[in-house]
Amino acid sequence: MATDQNNFEQPSAGAADWDASLNSNFAILESGFRAKGQAGEAINTGDIVTVGSDGFSKRFDPNSEDIKPHLLSITALSSGDGANFVAFGSVRSLGVWGGVIPGHEVFVSVLTPGMVVSSFSGANRGVGFAHYEDGFVFQPSASHFPELIEDVTSIDTVNGSLHLFQMDFGRGGWSRRIHMVGSSGDLTELKLYANSLRTDPSLLYSTVSGGVTVIGSFVDQAGFPYYNTDASTYSGKLYGSLTTLSASVASDSVGVTLTMERFR
């Protein structure tokens, strides 16, 4: 019979060919520890699942703040099916993980719950790291935050016009440094929002810099927390707007550098 926890075969007492069972057990053990579970919905091969208080496993959705990734499905299941899931270990060659990058941390997609990807955009928990293009080490508590990230964008502004941009820093973190530099002494307004609509309830940061110049550029290292609240996208982006206010300058090229600590 097969055991519930690791699907090991237990040969009956007095069996002559124990080696067949032992070889099968070692092959199972090589990929990690497994645990019995029951699907609460249709689950695909390679999906990361969460176990609910009712005991049923469902695809892990990183858009939710109330659940955690628990197990990895190595087979396709219908709702109600029982199976042995991977609790932790190395899994390869399922043929469904074309999006992971060896050496990179692995997350669960915010667009397709359960599916693993190497992009952290919108993800709130790491589930391991890829060691092959079609395999990764599943460690649901292996998150290596915070991570220091810097991104730069250049914006060609026109006086009085609103210019929109976005940067990908993950769903939440802390601002370490904001640096703006332009080619003239324009009065420039910078705003950062938590959603793509750029509405005031989601405003995270706002400043009007006087004299944005190459020599005397604007730097803010006071720091502030950021967290994405855009339910329409669940992305890991910050949404910015830039406006040149100086009436004496028709246009300018402004560089914006954000340095962030990503927490989730």
pLDDT: which is higher, 234 or 219 = 219
Parse the chain into domains and list their residue ranges: 31-138, 147-262
Tokens of 99: 């999006």
Supply the mean pLDDT for the chain.
82
Question: Residue type at 256?
Answer: V
Q: Say if residue 37's pLDDT is above 80.
A: yes
Rounded Cα gap, residues 72 and 86, in angstroms: 5
Give me the residue label for tokens 């208080």.
53
Q: How far apart are CA 170 and CA 236, in angstroms?
A: 4
Model pLDDT for residues 101-159, shown as the tens digit of each residue:
888 888 888 888 898 888 777 666 789 988 877 788 998 875 556 778 899 999 888 88
How many residues can be counted in the chain?
A: 264
Q: Letter for the amino acid at 249?
A: V
**Mean pLDDT computed over 254-264:** 88
Distance of CA 10 to the CA centre of its chain: 40
Cα 154 to its chain centre, rounded Å, is 25
Residue 240, pLDDT score: 94
Task: Report the pLDDT value the prediction gives residue 125, as an integer from 0 to 100.
Answer: 74
Contact 194/202 with Cβ under 8 angstroms?
yes
Q: Do the Cβ atoms of 121 and 233 come closer than 8 Å?
A: no
Which of 29-38, 154-163, 185-194, 224-233 is the least confident region? Answer: 224-233
Cα 90 from Cα 73, distance rounded (Å): 13
pLDDT of residue 23 exceeding 80, the answer is no
Percent of the chain with pLDDT over 70: 82
| 22 against 198, higher pLDDT | 198
Distance, CA of 229 to CA of 196 (rounded, Å): 9
Query: Do residues 228 and 195 touch, judged by C-beta distance below 8 A?
Result: yes
Element (H, E) at 150: strand 147-158
Q: Which two tokens stand for residue 119?
A: 């992009």
Predicted local confidence at residue 215, as pLDDT: 46
Does position 209 have pLDDT exceeding 50, yes or no? yes
For 143-152, the pLDDT digits (tens) are 556 778 899 9
**Maximum mean pLDDT: which of 80-94, 116-130, 182-196:** 80-94
Query: Has domain 147-262 been given CATH number 1.20.1070.10?
Result: no
pLDDT recorded at residue 57: 96
> In which element (H, E) is residue 18 found?
helix 18-30
How large a percentage of the chain has pLDDT more than 90? 29
The pLDDT score that the predictor gives to residue 52 is 92
Query: Which residues make beta-bridge pairs with 214?
Result: none
222-241 core/surface letters (b: 16 or more CB in 10 A; e: else): eeeebebebeebbbbbbbbb
pLDDT confidence bin for 82, thresholds 50/70/90: very high
User: Among the listed ranges 54-58, 156-160, 184-188, 254-258, which one has the minimum average pLDDT value?
Assistant: 184-188
